[in-house]
Structure 1
Amino acid sequence: MSALLKKLKITLALVACSASFAVMAQDKLLVGVDTAFVPFEFKQGNKYVGFDIDLWEAIAKKMNVSYELRPMDFGGLIPGLQSRNLDVAMAGITITDARKQVVDFSEGYYDADLLMAVKSGDNSITKFSELAGKKVGLKQGTAAASFMKSKYKANYVEFPNIDNAYLDLQAGNLDAVVHDSPNVLYYVKTAGGGKVKSTGETDSILPQKYGFALQKNSSLTPKVDAALKALRADGTYDKIYFKWFNKQPK
């Protein structure tokens, strides 16, 4: 065997033994991101920040891949994957059987349920069943919206951007907003400014997992899963989680 051939075989073996989450460095992924879903992704100054943003940055480093964020309304993310205009989408996307028919999902990276936001002085709504006859804001195209419309009767108003629903609540145009618990809690704590409170904690419903969505049958899916597993093992996931939620994951 020539020295050149032996060297080539050794090089190929080293490549084969590299981390299972590695992707060719020259690949640039197009990553769809919601325009406003605090604290997971939202614009701060001239850049997007949040739990999803930090977690994806760590995943991309593990995979040795560069990427470009493509901000858009939530409703455009799944179609963007289906049309292959996006490689990955992140927006606190709930893993559902219906969505798994058309896109791939990573392993779940966050557990969430639903909460209600109401005006601070409103004590008439403490359970989801008390929304009957009320005007309720939902985020268009979400698992939360589908669930609420199928289970509870109310006068629903759907918004492409959940921030607009909160603004309508504060303006008195809505009686409540129903959305994923981390988003409701973060809004109440920050932009709510003492005018809005969360309710429904004792009536919590729809346990759900968020996952990164990818094109159907994407070769990236197992690599993202491997990177997530590595980040959990080395403590990076816990650090990012604590940064945004001020507590350790369960």
Structure 2
Amino acid sequence: MPLPRTSAVAVLLAATVLAAVTGCAAEEPAAGPGASAPGGAADCAPGALPTRTAGTLAVGTDKPAYEPWFSEDRPENGKGFESAVAYAVAAKLGYPKEKVSWVVTPFGKATAPGPKEFDVDINQVSISAERRQAVDFSSGYYDVRQAVIALKSSKAASAHSLADLRGVKLGAQVGTTSLEAITGTIRPTVQPAVFDSNDLAKAALRNGQVEALVVDLPTAFYITGAEVTEAQVVGQLAGAGGGEQFGLVLDKGSRLTGCVSAAVDALRADGTLAALEKEWLSDAVAAPVLP
């Protein structure tokens, strides 16, 4: 991670973040995923935001911190998608790695009403209107994709493209974006199986009623890592996320929200978020986007 900025770099960072905040304030839709209380230009001075502890950015996440969002249950090591994103956002805000501290925060506590022990929290939290009644969200840093999972012993496990999946017996939960992805993106020649719950779908995968399931990628990682360990993630579906995004969580009405959103927007615009997603959610876990 970079050493503390020189004054010249700090001036450049201030100009960059100011431009991003100005653009965000001008273009953000009222019901969009960005900040509900954008910070002013003066609030975004690099390394001098009104954080809980001056000069330090406190980042919350749950424990254990699961792969591939984090690595080795050590958010502070900079490995894993969300750890890397947190440090990239911090750097944009003027906080190098040594100025970032981590706070253990259970998922439910992070999104509950009331004061927080962190400045920002990152823990696969989906932006929703209901949650925004209790907390602020940054702009979305991750667009949730759909994914295919199959038993390692199945022929579906060796699929490398959508074409390879068209003759496969697929399954998904009823009324979900996952089912829409099967019919609209994969378009199989075999009628897909539809289940009332993911638990029923997982049982069908285990007993061979279906060859593969389509679920969102975070669920796919959890199923294959903790529930059906004899299964693997085959790949991701491009552009089949249904609009769900993860955002950083902040106190309701936080003075940091606009600055954090501006930093996320800048990381999306310069390709950093896409590069980190490829590194940690595609290449590192062998979950390629299926062409």
* TM-score, normalised relative to structure 2: 0.52
Aligned residue pair count:
199
> Structure 2 CA distance, aligned partners of 1:121 and 1:27?
52
SS of aligned partner of 1:64 = coil
Q: In the alignment, residue 141 of structure 2 is paired with which amino acid? A: Y
SS of aligned partner of 1:37 = coil
Q: 1:53 to 1:198 in 2, by over 3 A?
A: closer
1:98 is aligned to 2:98: no
In structure 2, stretches of 5+ residues that fail to align are: 1-10, 19-43, 157-168, 175-194
> Structure 2 CA distance, aligned partners of 1:41 and 1:201?
19
1:195 is aligned to 2:230: yes
2:159 matched residue in structure 1: none
1:75-134: CA deviation from partner (whole Å, max 9, x where unpaired):
23223x7332222111111001100111111111111145576755689x832348xxxx
2:28 matched residue in structure 1: none
SS of aligned partner of 1:41 = coil
1:112 is aligned to 2:144: yes
Instruction: From 221, 225, 238, give the equivalent of 2:261.
Output: 225
> Structure 1 CA distance, aligned partners of 2:247 and 2:233?
25
1:9 matched residue in structure 2: none
| C-alpha RMSD of matched pairs (Å) | 4.6
More strand by share: 1
CA contact (8 A) 1:128 1:200 kept: no
Instruction: From 104, 116, 120, give the equivalent of 1:71.
Output: 104
CA contact (8 A) 1:41 1:91 kept: no
> Structure 1 CA distance, aligned partners of 2:72 and 2:256?
27
1:24 matched residue in structure 2: 48
Q: 1:120 to 1:47 in 2, by over 3 A?
A: same
1:50 is aligned to 2:80: yes
CA contact (8 A) 1:33 1:41 kept: no
* TM-score, normalised relative to structure 1: 0.59
Identity of aligned residues (%): 26
**Moved segments of 4+, more than 6 Å:** 176-179, 190-194, 199-202
CA contact (8 A) 1:118 1:198 kept: yes
1:33 is aligned to 2:57: no
